Amino acid sequence: MITIESLKNAIRTVPDFPQPGIQFKDLTTMLKQPDLLKYVVSTTARYYQQKGITKIVGIESRGFIIGGALAAELEAGFVPVRKPNRLPAEVYRKSYALEYGENTIEIHRDALNPDDVVLLHDDLLATGGTALAAIDLIRQFHVREIHINFIVELDWLKGRDKLTPSYDIYTLVHF
Ligand code: AMP
């Protein structure tokens, strides 16, 4: 039987990647196992089944993997949030501070509309800076609701505190 513990055990921790001091959670060791991949997608989709999600917004690039599968499973559309200068048409852009330096993300200006119920998805919540910037982008469309989902959350970084109490956040695996 697959449990949250089996997912946790299948995720590889790589020390000092991509820089010293970071304990990188590598989900590829979980995603390559068909039964675990199916469990992640179906368990997450079940949680959102009755919520009327119309669009999954996935964050480049690891948010595209499960994000796309969730969109198909929930019969919703998929919208990419991408790194700068990758989207070909007109975009909204948001820059945000990282521990060192700055990052920028973009979304197409015609990606969402006010009728949408959005599920923002990324593979992992660390400090919450990326998700918060993506929410800022989504809010420009005045959508009906925003839900938030991660596969993994690093609880000790308290990224959730940046996003709550305004949003319902669902995470499968907590470290
Ligand atoms: P943050 O903005 O700090 O919440 O960082 C979230 C983004 O960075 C996600 O897109 C993750 O894929 C990536 N990330 C940050 N920290 C880690 C980590 N320790 N292991 C794996 N991915 C990480």
Question: Under 8 Å CB-to-CB from 32, ≥6 apart: which residues?
Answer: none
Round to whole Å and give the CA distance between 122 and 171.
10
Please tell me if the CB atom of residue 24 comes closer than 6 angstroms to any atom of ligand 1: yes
Residue 68 located in a structural domain = yes
Q: Is 62 a catalytic residue?
A: yes
Residue 29 located in a structural domain = no
Q: How far is the CA of 133 from the centre of ligand 1 (A)?
A: 13
Mean pLDDT across 132-153:
98
Round to whole Å and give the CA distance between 13 and 22.
10
Q: Is the pLDDT of residue 150 over 90?
A: yes
Residue 78 located in a structural domain = yes
Q: How far is the CA of 66 from the centre of ligand 1 (A)?
A: 15
Mean pLDDT across 109-137:
97
Please tell me if the CB atom of residue 58 comes closer than 6 angstroms to any atom of ligand 1: no
Round to whole Å and give the CA distance between 82 and 93.
10
Residue 174, helix vs strand vs coil: strand
Which residue, chain included where needed, has tokens 């060791």?
29
Which residue, chain included where needed, has tokens 């989207």?
87
pLDDT in tens, 57-96: 999 999 999 999 999 999 999 999 999 999 999 999 999 9
- What amino acid is encoded at 109 in this protein? R
Residue 28 located in a structural domain = no
Which residue, chain included where needed, has tokens 């079940």?
46
Q: What is the pLDDT of residue 164?
A: 79
Residue 160 located in a structural domain = yes
Kindly report the pTM of this predicted structure.
0.97
Pocket test for ligand 1, best of 62, 81, 130 (most atoms within 8 A of CB): 130
Nearest residue (by CA) to ligand 1, atom 15, is 126
Q: Which atom of ligand 1 is nearest to the CA of 62?
A: 12
Query: What percent of the residues of the chain are helix, what percent strand, and what percent coil, each to the nearest 5?
Result: 30, 35, 35
Q: What is the pLDDT of residue 98?
A: 83
- Both tokens assigned to 99: 């521990």
Q: What is the pLDDT of residue 58?
A: 99
Residue 47 located in a structural domain = no
Domains held by the chain: number: 1
Q: Is 75 a catalytic residue?
A: no
Residue 139 backbone phi and psi in degrees, to 5 = -65, -25
Q: Is the pLDDT of residue 30 over 90?
A: yes
What is the domain range of residue 77? 52-174
User: Strands 169-174 and 23-26: what pairing?
Assistant: unpaired
Nearest residue (by CA) to ligand 1, atom 9, is 124
Residue 19 located in a structural domain = no
**112 CA to centre of own chain:** 17
Which residue, chain included where needed, has tokens 């020390």?
15
Mean pLDDT across 46-53:
98
For the chain, give the number of residues.
175
Q: Which of 12, 46, 86, 99 is catalytic?
A: 99
The model's confidence at residue 166, banded by pLDDT at 50, 70 and 90, is confident
Q: Which atom of ligand 1 is nearest to the CA of 123?
A: 12
We report the CATH number of the domain holding residue 90 as: 3.40.50.2020
Residue 170 located in a structural domain = yes
